[in-house]
Structure 1
Amino acid sequence: MKVRPRPADTEAKARRQRAVLDERTCRMICPVAAAMVGVCLTGIGLLRVVASVRGRETIADDLLSLDALLFLAATLASYIALRVQSHQRLHGLERIADAAFIAAMVLLTLACFVITYAISR
Structure 2
Amino acid sequence: MNPPATTQDAPEQTRLDENICVHIFTASAAMVGVCLTVVGIIRVVISQHKSDLFADDLLAVNAMLYLISSLLSYWALRTRNVTRNYRLERTADIIFLVALTLTAVSAAYITWAMSVH
- For the aligned pair, the TM-score class normalised by the smaller chain equals over 0.9
How do residues 50-65 of structure 1 correspond to structure 2 at under 5 angstroms?
Answer: 50-65=45-60
**What is the aligned partner in structure 1 of residue 9 from structure 2?**
14
Separation in structure 2 between the aligned mates of residue 72 and residue 112 of structure 1, nearest angstrom? 19
Separation in structure 1 between the aligned mates of residue 61 and residue 90 of structure 2, nearest angstrom? 20
**What is the aligned partner in structure 2 of residue 87 from structure 1?**
82
Unaligned 5+ residue runs, structure 2?
none
Does the alignment pair 1:48 with 2:54?
A: no
Identical-pair percentage: 41
* Rg larger in structure: 1
Unaligned 5+ residue runs, structure 1?
1-9
Give 1:11 shift.
2.3
Tell me the secondary structure at the aligned position of residue 120 of structure 1: helix
Out of 40, 64, 78, the position equivalent to 1:69 is 64
Give 1:55 shift.
0.7
* TM-superposition CA deviations, 1:54-110 (whole Å, max 9, x none): 011111111100000000011000001010000001001001110110000000100
- Please list every run of at least 4 consecutive aligned residues from structure 1 whose deviation after the TM superposition is greater than 4 angstroms: none
**What is the aligned partner in structure 2 of residue 112 from structure 1?**
107
TM-score of the superposition, structure 2-length normalised? 0.92
**What is the aligned partner in structure 1 of residue 24 from structure 2?**
29
Tell me the C-alpha RMSD between the 2 structures: 1.1
The one-letter code of the counterpart of 1:95 is R
